[in-house]
Amino acid sequence: MPSIDALADRLSTYLGNDQVNLVRRAYFYAEQAHDGQRRRSGEAYVTHPLAVANILADMHMDHQSLMAAMLHDVIEDTGIAKEALQAQFGETVAELVDGVSKLTQMNFETKAEAQAENFQKMAMAMARDIRVILVKLADRLHNMRTLEVLSGEKRRRIAKETLEIYAPIANRLGMHAIRIEFEDLGFKAMHPMRSARINQAVKRARGNRKEIVNKIEESLSHCLAIDGIQGEVSGRQKHLYGIYKKMRGKRRAFNEIMDVYAFRIIVDKVDTCYRVLGAVHNLYKPLPGRFKDYIAIPKANGYQSLHTTLFGMHGVPIEIQIRTREMEEMANNGIAAHWLYKSSGDEQPKGTHARARQWVKGVLEMQQRAGNSLEFIESVKIDLFPDEVYVFTPKGRIMELPKGSTAVDFAYAVHTDVGNSCIACRINRRLAPLSEPLQSGSTVEIVSAPGARPNPAWLNFVVTGKARTHIRHALKLQRRSESISLGERLLNKVLNGFDSALDKIPAERVKAMLAEYRLELIEDLLEDIGLGNRMAYVVARRLLGEGEQLPGAEGPLAIRGTEGLVLSYAKCCTPIPGDPIVGHLSAGKGMVVHLDNCRNISEIRHNPEKCIQLSWAKDVTGEFNVELRVELEHQRGLIALLASSVNAADGNIEKISMDERDGRISVVQLVVSVHDRVHLARVIKKLRALTGVIRITRMRA
């Protein structure tokens, strides 16, 4: 285990003496604070903070990050307050330590919820200072390196969390070396036997391949020398978890994956990268469609390189990555590679640092919009996709999105308001469905309309965390406003029966009832009524005084068809305007409209706490589905005849299925959308006019 003196010697190569002494001071403070504490392995506890600081020293992190690494468990494990750290080491270090510390003294229903809350707190600290996540990643890396002392169940839980959250975060920040180690250590802890078997197979394969690898390396070096290009050629090792993922995801045998030979060529300048590309394409034939230019269009995490695949000697596939030394440093350490050169003062951060800040800003926005910590962590996991597609706005700006993104994801990436008001899209100037996955190189144009709202069905196909979070947030707001509106109408309807109204009720009585129900605002009570969680009948009785007996309602409540998410139409009896109807108040769902004689509500039909008499408003709008059963003699072009008849009556067939009853009679089930009963009658009249129609029945489940 390296000592503090050995660490100080390493730090003195890139930090000043004063800064190194501050790191030493933080170490001695931590040593004293953790005095008497031991790790599971039996070592003194302070060995862990020292190891975390060594990992950050490998990345050449600044002295404040190293001090936070030394002190990162002090608040949590020793009872020393944040204020004490602030007095000793300054506000910046105290904030970093607090951001890394886990949540304590809070009880959660589940372990998942506790970890989600913990991550949520860390995300907020990241937004203030991105170094929080770098210290946390180093802390997690040392814990992963020393996992073997824990029980099997705890090992697997920590490994799973690392693979699901911390490895993707390291990838998102461009920290390739740490991601690889996270994945291999997590794989070993989750699947020890699989890891060992693949490791043995890799060692055997490398021994057998050594001669071919040396030949390819020599031919590539010779090719560069002929063209007068200075460059380092090295074989690239595939890591165990990467091999395992390819075997599982692409369903390939181990030999197929290991048959590909991978090399990396490091040069001094960007233009040399393209010269090398030309040279290797002359040496071996390139595989069509396998060239990627991540120098011109870097990945979302700042990664830059040229990728190409060649047909080598004897048809052996060769994967080649070409990059500069700076890009190599960037690929391995990501945001940490540029830490010493990060912009100070009022300058805007550049490159990876800017991308990382942008991502953290997006994470913070999701955190503010999410309903709870579990929903937030789900959104973040979705947002940590490893693959991207690159699409263009109509003005030529490049947008990076996760693989599988749709036009709705694109709209929310442009701006939240564009996403919320999106109604259609054009992909490469042609109208396309909003759910169509985008391909790299496409130009996407969003058609929006003022007053448009997000569609709940979008949640079935969006892939970005930002889109999912904003859609949910907009739907919650929409549902609340609609619930309040419906709740107010329901309560006033009952109060009208007693010659009263909500605005006539004394404010003291309303206030007393809100206190009794533990609600803050009258809107909260109206929302509960609109959602069916409280009955308007019961609330009205309490408002008017417990002893009051409410007479029958003054008349049915009019339904306009524009009530939105809090009003739905029962699928069992499919009511349409003109039908006699009744409303069933269902907890959490709002009002469900049934036919007056529907069997499903026959038992509660006359219970004023469960059902309410409804009528259709004169200005009711919308289209309503009705299922028809048509029996007719079998004939050629039957479906076309039915479709043209429904179309002639201005109806629309939503669904059609045919069941041949015998050789002569066919039974066709139609789901037709109509405006009201009069419109339905017109559709049925047109269908009856067809030759061979025997019977038409309106179906009810």
Q: Which residues are catalytic?
A: 76-77
Query: The tokens of 251 are what?
Result: 């369903």
Termini Cα distance of the chain:
73
596-614 CB burial, b ≥16 within 10 A, e <16:
eebebbeeeeeebebbbbb
Asked if 235 and 266 count as a contact pair (C-beta separation under 8 A), the reply is no
Taking phi over 0 as left and psi of -120 to 50 as alpha, with beta for the rest, 282 belongs to: alpha
Report the alpha-carbon distance of residue 58 to residue 333 in Å, rounded. 9
**507 Cβ contact list (under 8 Å, min separation 6):** none
Report the alpha-carbon distance of residue 649 to residue 255 in Å, rounded. 64
The amino acid that residue 634 corresponds to is H
Output helix, strand, coil percentages for the chain, rounded to the nearest 5. 50, 15, 30
Report the alpha-carbon distance of residue 685 to residue 679 in Å, rounded. 10
Closest to 557 in 3D by CA, of 606, 478, 497: 497
Cα dist from 687 to 398, 627, 639, 690, whole Å: 53, 14, 12, 6
How are beta strands 590-595 and 567-569 bridged, if at all?
A: parallel
Report the alpha-carbon distance of residue 85 to residue 25 in Å, rounded. 12
DSSP type of residue 634:
-
Taking residue 105's Cβ as centre, other Cβ atoms within 10 Å add up to 4
Closest to 399 in 3D by CA, of 307, 297, 327: 297
Identify the three-state secondary structure at position 11.
helix
Q: Packing angle between helix 536-544 and helix 522-530, nearest 10 degrees? A: 140
Identify the three-state secondary structure at position 659.
strand
* HEC per residue, 543-578: HHCCCCCCCCCCCCEEECCCCHHHEEECCCCCCCCC
With 0-12 CB in 10 A as exposed, 13-18 as middle and 19+ as buried, what is 153? Answer: exposed
Place of tokens 């805007």: 348
Place of tokens 């069916």: 532
The amino acid that residue 250 corresponds to is K
Report the alpha-carbon distance of residue 333 to residue 608 in Å, rounded. 67
**DSSP H or E segment with residue 527:** helix 522-530
Report the alpha-carbon distance of residue 64 to residue 71 in Å, rounded. 11
**DSSP H or E segment with residue 157:** helix 152-161
Report the alpha-carbon distance of residue 410 to residue 422 in Å, rounded. 10
Strand partners, 324: 267
Query: The tokens of 310 are what?
Result: 């060649």
Taking phi over 0 as left and psi of -120 to 50 as alpha, with beta for the rest, 36 belongs to: left
Cα dist from 663 to 619, 629, 630, 659, whole Å: 47, 18, 16, 11
Report the alpha-carbon distance of residue 20 to residue 151 in Å, rounded. 38
